[in-house]
Amino acid sequence: MSTNVELTDEELSELKAFTKEANPEAAIRMAMFEYLRLARRLQLKKLSGQVTMEDNWKQLEDNKVNHLNVRSDHGVD
């Protein structure tokens, strides 16, 4: 999809300087990519403390090992 964005010479120069991209299109793409990465991180940060974790990793690991042992006892690879 194509979109036109009007930037001042100063905005474009600053964007190219920060991204270290000489090509205006590459500078805009990099800035967009970095913005989206930051926005996603901020969304994840909002979830901090809201997710309940179960401390059952040992039980899950034991179940996996037991399952693999049963499969190998029956000749299943």
> Nearest-CA neighbor of 13 among 1, 36, 31?
31
Mean pLDDT score, 11-33:
96
The answer, yes or no, to whether residue 73 has pLDDT greater than 70, is no
More confident residue, 58 or 72: 58
- pTM to 2 decimals? 0.59
The ranges assigned to domains in the chain are: 9-73
Stretch (H or E) spanning 5: none
